[in-house]
């Protein structure tokens, strides 16, 4: 079976973890600020706060830009569910707008049309590592929180790395991301006061000059341990290599899938055009006139290839229908893409042979189906 994702972990990560374990300081130690400093430098941000996950980073970032009870946050329905959930954590309404069919990112014009006098922030997502059109969101004049959880290594057309524009930009370090700490996240930002607030709220609301068990505001335990930060530091050392490996695998896929793109209408990730993608996943859209996406997943599995519907539309999930009144038909571009998008195996150590195996399997599944006039794929 060719897996969907696989982290790169070596003796450097093992040694870094052992060193922390033997030091006796497992949390609130020196690895946390060291990791923050090096990560901030990497994405061109003045400050960074390490947190326990991408989700908790998004939560603290939304609080830091002032989102509260009864507000609205404009965001993308085509994302991992966390980017919308965090608004609800603060009793604000996640307000969706449709996506751009080429980049699959939140469409800035649709977002502008969804702004009301209760909108207190926009939350664009750099989906699949492709930079969102930040200059257009900046023109809305609202505070911005960037979901950069899939976008480490991405660069905007003007040369700014994603995460380096001064807005709080949140990265995630789950095991399938470009850089992993097992679980983890980080908020990159330009504002020193925001860094101080996030540092405090991730640690139960304790100010930097306060003693142990002394807390002057509502806070959480959203800390990241020194063990995790040590893994993150080792991963930063190998980041350039891992990003280059991902880009190379994406190039192999593009070449290998060119025939299916031309002859069968398979849709590939949009190419860079000034903006540079930080490769996270390789997601294709199956053609409208072929077998259903879920049938393709089953047929690929029978051929030894893991794949996954990626991503489901958030507004059609039960919680969003029942609590916020969303329905089919509200965001047609997102719904069409979500019904046809499929993540293929994609990780830095993937070989060209494995890419060819995936391509051959996908070709068989789509061909067999097309010669059967769109019927179910053969199960030979």
Phi and psi at 233, nearest 5°, equal -65, -40
Q: Which is nearer to ligand PLP, 252 or 331 (CB)?
A: 331
Q: Which is nearer to ligand PLP, 175 or 192 (CB)?
A: 175
Q: Is the peptide bond preceding residue 87 cis, with omega within 30 degrees of 0?
A: no
Among 93, 177, 195, 308, the one annotated catalytic: 177
Shortest distance, CB of residue 224 to ligand PLP, whole angstroms?
11
Token code pair at residue 323: 């609590």
Q: Which is nearer to ligand PLP, 125 or 249 (CB)?
A: 125
Applying CB under 6 A, the residues found at the interface with ligand PLP are: 53-55, 79-80, 82-83, 125, 147, 149-150, 172, 174, 185
In sequence order, what DSSP letters do the residues of 333-351 get, joined into one string? HHHHHHHHEEEEP--TT--
Residue pair 91/70 in contact (Cβ under 8 Å)? The answer is yes
| Helix segments in 238-340, DSSP class H | 239-256, 258-264, 293-302, 318-324, 332-340
Q: Which residues of 36-62 are buried (b: 16+ CB within 10 A; e: fewer)?
A: bebbbebbbbebbbbbbbbbbbbbbbb
- Spatial distance between the Cα atoms of 37 and 21, rounded to a whole number of angstroms: 22
Shortest distance, CB of residue 314 to ligand PLP, whole angstroms?
10
Is the backbone of residue 288 left (phi > 0), alpha (psi -120 to 50) or beta? alpha
CA atoms 327, 328, 329, 331: torsion sign: positive
- Spatial distance between the Cα atoms of 71 and 125, rounded to a whole number of angstroms: 19
Shortest distance, CB of residue 361 to ligand PLP, whole angstroms?
26
Shortest distance, CB of residue 356 to ligand PLP, whole angstroms?
28
CB neighbours of 370 closer than 8 A, spacing ≥ 6? 264, 289, 290
3-state SS class at 236: helix
CA atoms 294, 296, 302, 304: torsion sign: negative
Among this protein's residues, is 195 annotated catalytic? no
Q: Which is nearer to ligand PLP, 100 or 150 (CB)?
A: 150
- Spatial distance between the Cα atoms of 38 and 132, rounded to a whole number of angstroms: 24
The residue behind tokens 């959203």 is 222
Shortest distance, CB of residue 78 to ligand PLP, whole angstroms?
10
Is the backbone of residue 109 left (phi > 0), alpha (psi -120 to 50) or beta? alpha
Chain residue at closest Cβ approach to ligand PLP: 54
Shortest distance, CB of residue 222 to ligand PLP, whole angstroms?
11
Return the active site residues.
177
């Amino acid at each position: 079976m060719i897996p969907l994702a696989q982290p790169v972990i070596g003796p450097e990560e093992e040694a870094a973890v052992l060193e922390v374990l033997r030091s006796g300081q497992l949390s609130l130690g020196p690895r946390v600020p060291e990791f923050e400093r090096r990560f901030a430098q990497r994405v061109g941000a003045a400050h960074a706060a390490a947190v326990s996950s991408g989700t908790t980073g998004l939560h603290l970032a939304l609080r830091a830009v002032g989102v509260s009870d009864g507000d609205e946050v404009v965001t993308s329905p085509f994302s991992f569910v966390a980017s919308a959930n965090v608004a609800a954590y603060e009793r604000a309404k996640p307000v969706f707008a449709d996506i751009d069919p080429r980049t699959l990112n939140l469409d800035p014009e649709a977002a502008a049309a969804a702004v009301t006098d209760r909108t207190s922030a926009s939350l664009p997502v750099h989906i699949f590592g492709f930079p969102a059109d930040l200059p257009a969101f900046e023109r809305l004049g609202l505070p911005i929180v960037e979901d950069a959880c899939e976008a480490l290594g991405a660069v905007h057309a003007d040369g700014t790395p994603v995460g380096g524009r001064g807005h709080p930009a949140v990265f995630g370090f789950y095991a399938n991301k470009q850089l992993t700490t097992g679980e983890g996240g980080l908020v990159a930002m330009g504002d020193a006061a925001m860094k101080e607030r996030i540092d405090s709220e991730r640690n139960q609301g304790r100010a930097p000059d306060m003693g142990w068990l002394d807390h002057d505001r509502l806070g959480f335990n959203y800390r990241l341990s020194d063990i995790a930060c040590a893994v993150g530091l080792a991963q930063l050392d190998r980041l350039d290599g891992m990003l280059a490996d991902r880009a190379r695998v994406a190039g192999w896929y593009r070449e290998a899938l060119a025939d299916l793109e031309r002859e069968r209408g398979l849709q590939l990730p949009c190419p860079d055009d000034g903006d540079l993608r930080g490769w996270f996943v390789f997601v294709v859209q199956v053609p409208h006139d072929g077998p259903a996406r879920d049938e393709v997943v089953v047929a690929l599995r029978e051929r030894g290839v893991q794949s996954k519907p990626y991503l489901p539309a958030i507004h059609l999930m039960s919680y969003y229908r029942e609590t916020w009144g969303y329905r089919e038909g509200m965001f047609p571009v997102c719904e069409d893409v979500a019904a046809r998008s499929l993540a293929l195996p994609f990780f830095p150590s993937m070989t060209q042979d494995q890419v060819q195996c995936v391509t051959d399997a996908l070709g068989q599944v789509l061909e067999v189906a097309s010669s059967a006039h769109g019927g179910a794929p053969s199960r030979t």
